[in-house]
């Protein structure tokens, strides 16, 4: 009888812990008039071992996307253009500044070079050429640049790059054209070539 009671108690406990029970009515024990003489009993005890959990870090080798930008400083001769407009009164209206062109490339090394500068009214059109070389750079990314120094009054500068636009978000800031003829169709009005490499 004791074993049956213990088994029934354990089974009921397992059922209660493994299912969702909604109580519909209050329990009421039957009234019984019994004269019983019994010794006190003992419920079974259980020693439950749970998983030992440790939180920390471990070192693993994983592939992590990285942007590698290769920029090196070196002294080079930079073209200098001094633009004096006919109505410039003195040298104070003109400022010296660098005009820089950059492109971000993948797969192969590229060279970018400012080839020409056209002037029209208060606009300067800086025309550069982007060409891929045979040297591969693997899965790295790099930026290539060229620059000139310009001394002039404040002018509107627009960059055009002759060549194929590399598929990088950085390269959306300038206009890419296939060739010089395609570029000429984009420029309205007359212009004067003030620099040619």
Span 166-186, pLDDT tens digits: 999 999 999 999 999 999 888
pLDDT tens profile 115-129: 999 888 888 899 999
Per-residue confidence (pLDDT) for residue 57, from 0 to 100: 47
HEC per residue, 19-48:
CCCCCCCCCCCCCCCCCCCCCCCCCCCCCC
- Over range 152-163, report the average pLDDT: 91
For residue 62, what pLDDT is reported? 47
For residue 38, give every residue at least 6 positions away whose Cβ sits within 8 Å of its Cβ, in sequence order, or none: none
If one compares 192 and 11, the residue with the highest pLDDT of the two is 192
35-49, 127-141, 156-170: segment of lowest average pLDDT: 35-49
Global pTM exceeds 0.75: no
Q: Is the pLDDT of residue 58 over 90?
A: no
Cα–Cα dist 186/127, whole Å = 12
CB 99 within 8 A of CB 145: no
Share of residues in the chain with pLDDT > 70 (%):
61
pLDDT band at 152 (very low <50, low <70, confident <90, very high): confident
* Dihedral angle computed from the Cα positions of residues 190, 191, 192 and 194, in that order, rounded to the nearest 10 degrees: 180
Q: Among residues 44, 114, 19, 26, which one has the least CA distance to residue 76?
A: 114
């Amino acid at each position: 009888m004791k074993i049956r009671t213990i088994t029934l108690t354990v089974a009921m406990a397992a059922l209660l812990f493994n299912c969702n029970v909604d109580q519909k009515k209050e329990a009421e024990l039957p009234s019984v008039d019994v004269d019983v003489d019994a010794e006190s009993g003992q419920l079974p005890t259980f020693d439950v071992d749970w998983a030992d959990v440790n939180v920390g870090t471990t070192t693993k080798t994983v592939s992590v996307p990285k942007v590698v930008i290769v920029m090196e400083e070196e002294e080079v001769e930079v073209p200098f253009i001094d633009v004096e407009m006919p109505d410039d009164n003195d040298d104070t209206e003109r400022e010296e500044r660098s005009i820089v062109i950059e492109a971000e490339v993948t797969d192969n090394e590229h060279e970018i070079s400012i080839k020409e500068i056209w002037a029209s009214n208060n606009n300067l059109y800086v025309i550069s050429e982007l060409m891929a070389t045979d040297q591969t750079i693997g899965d790295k990314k790099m930026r290539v640049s060229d620059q000139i120094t310009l001394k002039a009054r404040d002018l509107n500068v627009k960059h055009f790059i002759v060549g194929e636009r590399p598929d990088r978000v950085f390269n959306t800031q300038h206009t890419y054209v296939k060739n010089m003829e395609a570029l000429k169709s984009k420029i309205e009005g007359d212009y004067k070539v003030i620099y040619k490499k």
